[in-house]
Amino acid sequence: MNISITLTDIISIIRKIADISLVWFIFYVILKNIKNNIKLALLFKGVALVLILKLVSDLCGLTVVGVLLEYIIMWGPLALIIIFQPEIRNMLEQLGRNQLLGRHKVLTVDEREHVVYEVVQALDYMSKQKIGALIVIERDISLGNYIDKAKKIYADLTSDLLISIFYEGNPLHDGGVIIQGDRITCAGAVFPTSSSTKINRHLGTRHRAGLGISEETDALVLIASEETGRLSIALKGEMFYNLSIDDVRIMLVDELRPKQDNNFDDELDEEEIYEENN
């Protein structure tokens, strides 16, 4: 049996492979952004649940339930677009702003040590002096939308500069500071406040703003209370309250570590950072 493949057939096969690969890549990028956004993740789970219930109702012959679900599926997308318009817009902006192959700067061991040391020094001082602070460290998801509306600084990260920014007499002390890599990019940033019912009702706007930005991005958020001096960290939509300065240091070291397979050298690097800072 003689099978001949022409150049046209080869080009057609390449196009089909490229077409399928592009579709899967788009799905991957969308799912990655949904995973990093707590609200969109819940939305995705809700849509999946409705589709599963519709399938079950069809298999079991549940007519009334099936009809109701058909109406939900018919009008649901329009309702979701209206209700979740801010989240959908934010995700599209992130897709446009982020470099698809990763824009986050991977810090060297010395740079990570510097960031951890300066941030911990500042938080330790502000905690003891009861100076309120909101420090947001950008990771894989861009915070460009918030940086554009804040006061640009683009300065080397130092504990003295952080303390001076959040000093009560500074006009920028009410907003948040955004750190990109090992530099302070801006101050006075305003973030969306969380509407979560899980957050302690005694906590104020600073904590809700910190939790809000952690729900929408993968940023690492550090908060010092001006009333109690207690330290908190918001991460992936979860708030960790009343942390000691050592807890903050350990979490910073762990979260700033490059997101790749941990090897022996990485473990040694983190141990060295912890030992030198103690």
What residue spans define the domains of the chain?
A: 7-97, 109-277
Cβ-defined contacts of 261-270 (< 8 Å, 24+): 269/109, 269/112
For residues 250 and 96, give the distance between their C-alpha atoms in angstroms, rounded to a whole number.
33
Q: What is the pLDDT of residue 84?
A: 67
Q: Look at 198 and 224; give whichever has higher pLDDT.
A: 224
Residue 112 has pLDDT above 60, yes or no: yes
Rounded distance between C-alpha atoms, residue 93 and residue 96, angstroms: 5
Given this model, what pLDDT does residue 120 score?
96
pLDDT digits (tens, 9 = 90+) for 57-96: 888 888 887 888 888 878 877 777 777 676 666 666 655 5
Beta-bridge partner residues of 224: 133, 231
Mean predicted confidence (pLDDT) in 98-122 = 76
Residue 256 confidence (pLDDT) above 80: yes
Tell me the CATH architecture of domain 109-277. 3-Layer(aba) Sandwich (3.40)
User: Whole-structure pTM over 0.85, yes or no?
Assistant: no
Residue 158 has pLDDT above 80, yes or no: yes
Q: What percent of the chain has pLDDT over 70?
A: 80
**pLDDT surpassing 70 at residue 271:** no
- With tokens 């905690």, the residue in question is 127
User: Residue 267: what pLDDT?
Assistant: 47
Helix or strand run (H / E) with residue 238: strand 238-243
pLDDT given for residue 203 in this prediction: 81
Alpha carbons 274 and 133: distance in angstroms, whole number: 23
Q: Indicate the pLDDT class of residue 200, thresholds 50, 70 and 90.
A: confident
Cα–Cα distance list, 217 to 142, 170, 239 (Å): 8, 27, 14
Higher pLDDT, 250 or 49: 250
Query: Would you say residue 144 has pLDDT above 90?
Result: no
Please report the pLDDT score of residue 136 as a whole number. 97
Element (H, E) at 36: helix 7-36
